[in-house]
Amino acid sequence: MSTIKIGAAEVVRIEESYEPNFDAAKFFADWQPAVVDEHAGWMLPDHFDPATGLLKLSVHSWLVRVGGRAILIDACVGNHKPRPLRPKWHLMETRYLERLAAAGVRPEQVDVVLCTHLHMDHVGWFTRRERDRWVPTFPNARHVFSRADYDHYLALDRDPEKGPVNQGSFRDSVLPVVEAGLADMVSGPHALDEHVRLDPAPGHTPGTVAITLTSQGAAALFCGDILHHAIQVYHPQWNSFACGDAERARASRRAVLARCADTGALLMPAHFGAPFVCRIEGTGDGFVPRFA
């Protein structure tokens, strides 16, 4: 487990899973097998499994220690969650909490949980199973996420023809923290403190946010699913199957890449393969990743 320094801040990746898990041709409508040959130098073996044609994606949180607080960014899939349409995520049993403890933080010591958006693989550890109910995993943490996402999924979840949404994760992961009074829903740009800021980046979901960490002149940008895979740095027009608004997703992706290229902020995605983070370099009209 390595620590990334962003000024005086310390950031640790808390892994839930890292494996070949999505068919590349189904994940990206624009996928062409030729990109593997073109980018084999960095793509293999950490970002793509040629034997199966599956993208190798990580599912992880970022633990940030800054300003005397422990902040968790995104909350993965969670244990014991029924997700039958995603077999690799169905009723998972992982050592996520043990890995968090190994980084020096117990669930009750988490001060803030930030969520880039409310899809099932970003909210799962909001709750854990306690006998026959779901209870907050981080009982002392404020859970900060977009009001736009919450209102969007609440409306869909209440529709008898569309609910439950996100394979039930809205009900078993999001609603319990709201009902416990632990949720702070934000609209528009929002400064958590002098170090952490949330900015709207809609497209993947209506309320997707980009989270920026700054300390002592250094910066990192946590992009959630604005980018899923490093190939999108080369092809920012590529949307995943899960992007709700194609054009806004492309605009937000380009804006994040341009910001990292212009400012030198370290890009810290939620799903990239090893080494999991990268710098972004602008090249004419495009971008390339520079892996740390």
Cα gap 6→218, rounded to integer Å: 6
Provide the residue ranges of all domains of the chain, joining segments of one domain with +.
Answer: 3-291
| CATH number for the segment(s) 3-291 | 3.60.15.10
> Distance of CA 281 to CAs 15, 92, 255, 284, 290, Å?
27, 37, 13, 10, 7
User: Span 133-160, mean pLDDT?
Assistant: 98
Q: Report yes or no: 175 and 135 within 8 Å, Cβ to Cβ.
A: no
Amino acid making up residue 57: L
**CA-CA-CA-CA torsion sign (134, 137, 138, 144):** negative
Q: How far apart are CA 33 and CA 31, in angstroms?
A: 7
What percentage of the chain carries pLDDT values higher than 70? 100
Pairing verdict, β 142-146 and 9-23? unpaired
Phi, psi values for residue 10, rounded to 5°:
-115, 135
Is residue 30's pLDDT more than 90?
yes
What average pLDDT does the segment 61-71 reach?
97
Report the percentage of the chain scoring pLDDT > 90: 98
Q: What contacts 24+ positions apart, CB below 8 Å, involve 271-274?
A: 271/57, 271/58, 271/59, 271/60, 271/225, 271/228, 271/229, 272/47, 272/57, 272/58, 272/227, 272/229, 272/230, 273/18, 273/46, 273/47, 273/56, 273/57, 273/58, 273/230, 274/18, 274/46, 274/58
Average pLDDT over residues 42-68: 97
Give the residue-averaged pLDDT of 62-84: 98
Answer for the pair 25, 31: CB distance below 8 angstroms, yes or no. Answer: yes
What mean pLDDT, rounded, does the chain reach? 97
Say if residue 292's pLDDT is above 80: no
Tell me the C-alpha distance between 59 and 139, whole Å. 23
Per residue in 103-127, pLDDT (tens digit) is 999 999 999 999 999 999 999 999 9
Q: What is the pLDDT of residue 285?
A: 86
Predicted confidence (pLDDT) per residue in 180-236, tens digit = 999 999 999 999 999 999 999 999 999 999 999 999 999 999 999 999 999 999 999
